[in-house]
Amino acid sequence: MANQQRIIRLTVTVVVVAVVIEFLGWYFPTHYGSTDTNLFAQAMFIGVAAMGLNLLTGYNGQVSIGHGAFFGIGAYITALMMDHHYDLLGIKIDHVSFLATIPAVAVISFVIGALVGFPALRVKGLYLALVTLGLAVIFPDLASRFVKGTGGTSLVALNGQEVAAPQWFQNWFPRLSAQDQWAYTMAFVFALLGLLLLWLLVRSRFGRSLIAVRDHEAAAASVGINLARTKVLAFALSAMYAGIAGSLSVLVFQNASGDDKLVTFQLSIEFLVAVVIGGTATVLGPVIGGFAVVYIQKWATDQFPSKPVVSPATFGIVLIVLMYVLPEGVVGGIRRLRTWGSRTLRSRRRSTASPARL
Amino acid sequence: MIDRRPNHRTRLRSGAAIALVMVLALVAAACSGNRSTAKPSTTSPSGSTGPTTSSTIIDTSACPAGSETTGVTGNTITIGTSVAQSGTYAPFSAILDGESAYIDYTNAKGGVTIAGKQYQIKLVAKDDAYVASRTVTNVQSLLTDDKVFALLNVVGTKNNLAIRDLVNRECVPDLFAASGATQWGNHQFPWLIGSELVPYPLEVKRFVDYLKQTKPNATIALLKADDDFGQSYADTLTQLIKGTQLKIVKTEQYDSTGSEVKTQVNALANTHADVFFLGATLLACPAALTAASDAGWHPITYMSGTCVSKVLFSIAGPPANGVFSVTPLLDPADAKNDATPAMKLYKTQVAKYKPKADLLDGIVGYGWTTGALLVKTLESAKAADRFSVMEAARTLHDVSGVGLQIPAAKWNTSADDWFVGETFQFIQYDQAAGHTNAVGGGLTNDDGKTAKLTPGDLINRK
Amino acid sequence: MALFFTQLLNGIQNGAVYASLAIALVLIFRTTGILNFAQGEIALYSTYIVWKLTTTGMPVWLAILLAIAISFVGGALIERVIIRPVERSSPLVIVIVTIGMFLAINSLTQLQFGSGEQALPSFYPQHTWRPGGVLISSNTLALVGVLAVECALLYLVLQRTKLGLAFRGVASNPESSQLLGVPVGRILMVGWGLAAAVGALAGALVVPTTTGLVPSSMQQILVFAFAAAALGGFDSVFGAVVGGMIVGVADALTIGYVHTLRGIDLLVPFGLILLVLLFRPAGLFGTTRVERV
């Protein structure tokens, strides 16, 4: 009986996931215009960054308000590598394809994340958040001092050929060959991969040690969990996610620019908002949060087209209201709704069933 | 069989539920129609399109087919812009007031006449908070959703650099970018042209010429913003004083996300340099002037033309007295100008269409003038298509009397001359009177000289 | 040498600014246990109130006092209306609510008062003394003086009054305080009100020294105030003052003297914070919370 139910549920899940992939991966980019695909791609790369932050903040309890810096690092590495005129420390980097930049971004942001993670062994909570804030405000200064990009500025703008879909992709998927579709597909694929990795991670031994360390450090240590390794690895992995999210943004924005403190800070905050709105310590939450962050802001802007100053207020108020209504985020809210639903269903069943037994 | 993993089961189910919610959300969120009509931008065949007229300036052979008259529907021509209307640089939104006032005024007169036909102008403005990536998404949306014909006065050097390749590829005129950067002289990007703002090197040259006459062996202390804007002043100043007796004795930079400059100015003041050069903008200008005065340092001071604004001068107060700068426009704060017909028109029309705008603020006057320059350009185009309009912008001939343009000034562009605002006035602020005065004898006419005065790599660096 | 003292004083002046806002952050942290991201924007709104009042011809000092009073009420109302419903939620939820307020207040300020630059006069004459070439600005004296008075008043209120006792009780243990009959809700409102009042004073004092009021006036200051509070310890008013001074002086001296760090001077204050936190994880004067097993 239970087994049968499980098979049914599994089938339903597989079908739904297949439908979602079919819809998002194929139907959507081939049927909607570039403005929509761009917004979706933005939602997905914010979702990817939020997945990483969720690993750190949601599962491991370390708050960061500086992940915009890792995002910026990823964006710059990708843009500089793809920009064929670039000369990195004497090594001529010539027109690297987007996908080839990803391993470099993953490794570099992972390593920098691990380095930043070391202080986390001593510094905790709000104090740690402040250290990461330092990262978010120092990175833009470093960028504007050391990056020599387009027109001598710290902006690295790519041209149409550089951001276009590669030939093999155009041959395989001729209906997805426009630039925005390529950017969208990459964001979608990496969001799926990120989701899969996150799902595997939180289910693994490592995932359980993350939660154990978050809930009670001393207890976790006493059962043999290596605190240092767990915390530093959480930082490194989350930085890697944010870095790759930055790479994805390069295809969407066709440039990388990380020299504005307010932007880096705002991005860091958006990731955190995405985590909390979606649902902390949930697998799907960050993606939903990414969509929420992008679409609520879009909605807020559309409400007052002639008064752009009002749109941040609208977004802010929506955030506050969301926290009242869904303090556990969308996923948490759905879970609560479901337990409530099944409980009332069960009690109703019981009340109708009991007279029959008589 | 007993399921020993109840959590697992609920997770699976919750996964399914969430996936379903997402599908619904997707359908609800995305609301535009079928893509089949959408433009494939980068994959379009590169066959020759565009008008048969060939130009030495603009090569239309790689332009996307069928987009020459996008944005011209019936008797309406739609123009887009992206300006900071929120964030640190929100004060720039005053430019929009001036622009839309001029456009409303033109529409009320019947519209703009292109090749014998009258059109109404519709301006679509988006907010980018001065962030380059938002400028890109704004412009993409303006091109695909709003189907604009051209862009007008997108504000910021990096913001325009970020869309430079896009407009070039799509062959959309990016008219009168609000930045005096030298990069707009790069001949690889004919679809972008700078506005009437004085190119930064000409500002620097005018002041250096003044110093050569009055104090040829002056020592210079430089304060610059820590971005491309500040850097372009520093680069051209260094370049232009080569071979002279002038000497930069100290350079300091400040964080352009704020206006905290006191420490830097103290260090500069300590050099007791003869000259204080301010490659700064917005509140950093009055802050630096005040700090210099507090430090008991009273050098010959030059500040960027972007700081010439009634509000900034009045915030600085007495320390702003005697400061030099340049302007391509009449100062609306100077009552002497009220008698000129151009100023009368500006004041009556802006008061009529944008009653909340500060009439005395030069930045509104700049917007008004840019609006007028757009109309002038459209009217001199041979046809209402993108190529003709861009060609018109690239071949302005002795343009005068546009908006608040200084009466005797003439603006020209040509195949060799890619800059508009090369005729301008050297000015000095009179604090007691509350406005700027023309100094240094008449207009400075550097028409066609920007490219020659600027080291080539500053213009063409990638 | 004169330049060194000038820069030092300049750093102290900046430090006083960071300290004033950091005190507001500490007051909130002690009651609610969170970082209030909206603190800078609340101070911004208060400063616009000062500006608006002065445009009616009201003397500046009176405008500041009025704005402080209005801010106290406003802060208390914010606690009661906006924060109370999520007070028992996780800290992250409250942080998101303060981020929402940050966005909302900034944008409503622009809507109400416009986004252009405004001149805000100071309540004391602007003057610079130059003994031996060292620049001493009346701004520095005023900011440091007001900060000292503010600290003294806060000390008196927190240590010498019944209200202060209740406040400290709520800060260290809300449940027990509730059981002892302390009106915890009202005390929290007072905490937020005090923070807003302190922030209003900070804004009204700092804006004239940076010469202009714009909607982004407080954002950079907030980052430094965060740094100051972290350095001093989030639950110590005294720590906030010391932290502010250290951050201000370190930054000014870096800009003034370390030219290899030109443009990346923030490395010094934040590096300093990291160093301090590595040895004292709860800041210089903060209390370490012992984790119970």
Kindly report, residue by residue over C16-29, the tens digit of the pLDDT: 999 999 999 999 98
Residue of C nearest to B90 (CA): C115
Residue B439 phi/psi, 5-degree rounding, is -135, 180
Return the pLDDT at C258: 86
Break chain B down into helix, strand, coil percent, rounded to 5: 40, 20, 40
Return the pLDDT at B12: 43
Return the pLDDT at B28: 46
Structure tokens at C63: 């405008």
DSSP string, B361-378: -HHHHHHHHHHHHHHHHH
Residue C9 has pLDDT above 80, yes or no: yes
Q: Which residue has the higher pLDDT, B66 or A272?
A: A272
Mean pLDDT of chain A: 89
Kindly report, residue by residue over B446-461, the tens digit of the pLDDT: 888 888 777 666 777 6
Q: Do C115 and B86 touch (CB under 8 A)?
A: yes
Kindly report, residue by residue over B326-361, the tens digit of the pLDDT: 999 998 988 888 999 999 999 999 999 999 888 988
Q: Do C128 and B295 touch (CB under 8 A)?
A: yes
Of B263, B283, B286, the CB nearest to C255: B263
Q: Do A284 and B15 touch (CB under 8 A)?
A: yes
Return the pLDDT at A356: 40
CB < 8 Å from A in window 130-189 of C: none
E strands, B314-401, are 324-327
Return the pLDDT at B30: 42
Return the pLDDT at A231: 93
Rounded Cα distance between C145 and B32, Å, is 61
Residue A152 has pLDDT above 90, yes or no: no
Could you tell me the sign of the dihedral formed by the alpha carbons of C252, C255, C260, C262, in that order?
positive
Q: Do C116 and B91 touch (CB under 8 A)?
A: yes
- The percentage of chain A sitting over the pLDDT mark of 70, rounded to a whole number, equals 94
Q: Does B227 touch chain C (CB under 8 A)?
A: no
The minimum CA-CA distance between B87 and chain A, rounded to whole Å, is 9
Residue C102 has pLDDT above 60, yes or no: yes
Residue of C nearest to B314 (CA): C119
Chains touching C by CB (3 or more pairs below 8 Å): A, B
Return the pLDDT at B307: 87
- Window from B5-19, B225-239, B280-294, C73-87 with minimum mean pLDDT: B5-19
Contact B153, B83 (CB under 8 A): yes
Residue among A85, A81, A108 nearest A96 (CA)? A81
Query: What's this model's pTM, rounded to 2 decimal places?
Result: 0.90
Which of the residue ranges A129-143, B300-314, C71-85 has the most confident prediction, judged by mean pLDDT? C71-85
Give A335's contacts in chain B (Cβ within 8 Å): 10, 14
Residue of A nearest to C89 (CA): A327
Mark out the alpha helices in B30-156 (DSSP H runs).
94-108, 132-144
Contact A133, C266 (CB under 8 A): no
The contacts of residue C222 (CB under 8 Å, 6+ apart) are C21, C37, C39, C40
Structure tokens at A124: 């905790």
Give B234's contacts in chain C (Cβ within 8 Å): none
CB < 8 Å from B in window 112-151 of A: 141, 144-145, 150-151
Residue range B184-198: mean pLDDT, rounded? 91
Residue B55 has pLDDT above 80, yes or no: no
Return the pLDDT at C127: 86
Q: Do C270 and A122 touch (CB under 8 A)?
A: no
- The percentage of chain B sitting over the pLDDT mark of 70, rounded to a whole number, equals 87
The distance from CA A319 to its chain's CA centroid, rounded to whole angstroms, is 18
Give A313's contacts in chain C (Cβ within 8 Å): 103-104, 107-108, 111
**Helix A125-146, helix A67-82: angle, nearest 10:** 30
Task: Provide the residue type at B294 as one letter.
Answer: D
Kindly report, residue by residue over A115-149, the tens digit of the pLDDT: 999 888 888 888 888 889 999 999 998 988 888 88
Give A280's contacts in chain C (Cβ within 8 Å): 90, 92
Of C100, C227, C265, the CB nearest to A319: C100
Contact B143, B119 (CB under 8 A): no
Residue B311 has pLDDT above 50, yes or no: yes
How distant, in Å, are the alpha carbons of B39, B182, B251, B269 from that of B277? 49, 19, 9, 12
Return the pLDDT at A149: 83
Give B296's contacts in chain C (Cβ within 8 Å): 128, 130, 135
Return the pLDDT at B67: 86
Rounded Cα distance between B15 and A334, Å, is 10
Q: Does B14 touch chain A (CB under 8 A)?
A: yes
Q: Does B260 touch chain A (CB under 8 A)?
A: no
Residue of A nearest to C283 (CA): A127
**Adjacent-strand bridge partners of B123:** B79
Q: Which residue has the higher pLDDT, A61 or B55?
A: A61
- Window from A208-217, A227-236, A253-262, B150-159 with minimum mean pLDDT: A253-262
- The percentage of chain B sitting over the pLDDT mark of 90, rounded to a whole number, equals 55
Return the pLDDT at B18: 52
Residue B239 has pLDDT above 70, yes or no: yes
Return the pLDDT at A242: 97
Residue C181 has pLDDT above 50, yes or no: yes
Return the pLDDT at B43: 38
Return the pLDDT at A103: 96
Q: Do B165 and A153 touch (CB under 8 A)?
A: no
Give B294's contacts in chain C (Cβ within 8 Å): 126, 128, 135, 137
Return the pLDDT at C293: 42
Contact C235, C26 (CB under 8 A): yes
Class of residue A31 by CB neighbours under 10 A (exposed 0-12, middle 13-18, buried 19+): middle
Residue B54 has pLDDT above 70, yes or no: no
Kindly report, residue by residue over A336-358, the tens digit of the pLDDT: 888 888 877 777 665 554 444 43
Rounded Cα distance between A248 and B102, Å, is 41
Return the pLDDT at B455: 67
Kindly report, residue by residue over B203-214, the tens digit of the pLDDT: 999 999 999 999
- Window from B199-203, B447-451, C279-283 with minimum mean pLDDT: B447-451
Mean pLDDT of chain B: 85
Rounded Cα distance between A173 and A165, Å, is 10
Residue to mutate among C99, C226, C231, C268, with most A CBs inside 10 A, is C99
Rounded Cα distance between C8 and C14, Å, is 10
Return the pLDDT at A87: 58
The contacts of residue B46 (CB under 8 Å, 6+ apart) are B61, B62
Residue range B373-390: mean pLDDT, rounded? 94
Strand arrangement of the beta sheet that strand B219-225 belongs to: B247-254, B219-225, B275-279, B300-303, B324-327, B423-430, B435-445
Residue range C166-181: mean pLDDT, rounded? 82
Integer-rounded Cα Rg, in Å, for chain A is 22
Class of residue B33 by CB neighbours under 10 A (exposed 0-12, middle 13-18, buried 19+): exposed
Give A40's contacts in chain B (Cβ within 8 Å): 30
Write a three-state SS string for A42-92.
HHHHHHHHHHHHHHHHHHCCCCCCCHHHHHHHHHHHHHHHHCCCCEECCEE
Residue range B167-178: mean pLDDT, rounded? 93
Residue A156 has pLDDT above 70, yes or no: yes
Break chain A down into helix, strand, coil percent, rounded to 5: 80, 0, 20
Chains touching A by CB (3 or more pairs below 8 Å): B, C
Return the pLDDT at C173: 79
How distant, in Å, are the alpha carbons of A215, A224, A227, A235, C293 from that of A219? 9, 9, 11, 21, 7
The bridge status of strand B423-430 relative to strand B324-327 is antiparallel
Return the pLDDT at B63: 85
Residue among B421, B439, B442, B447 nearest B184 (CA)? B421
The contacts of residue B41 (CB under 8 Å, 6+ apart) are A34, A160, A178, A179, A180, B64, B169, B170
- Window from A310-324, B375-389, C120-134 with minimum mean pLDDT: C120-134
Residue range C109-131: mean pLDDT, rounded? 87
pLDDT bin (cut points 50, 70, 90) of residue B11 is very low
Q: Do A309 and B88 touch (CB under 8 A)?
A: no
The minimum CA-CA distance between A156 and chain B, rounded to whole Å, is 8
Helix (H) or strand (E) holding B177: strand B174-177
**Adjacent-strand bridge partners of B436:** B429
Contact B373, B413 (CB under 8 A): no
Residue range C240-248: mean pLDDT, rounded? 95
Return the pLDDT at A1: 58
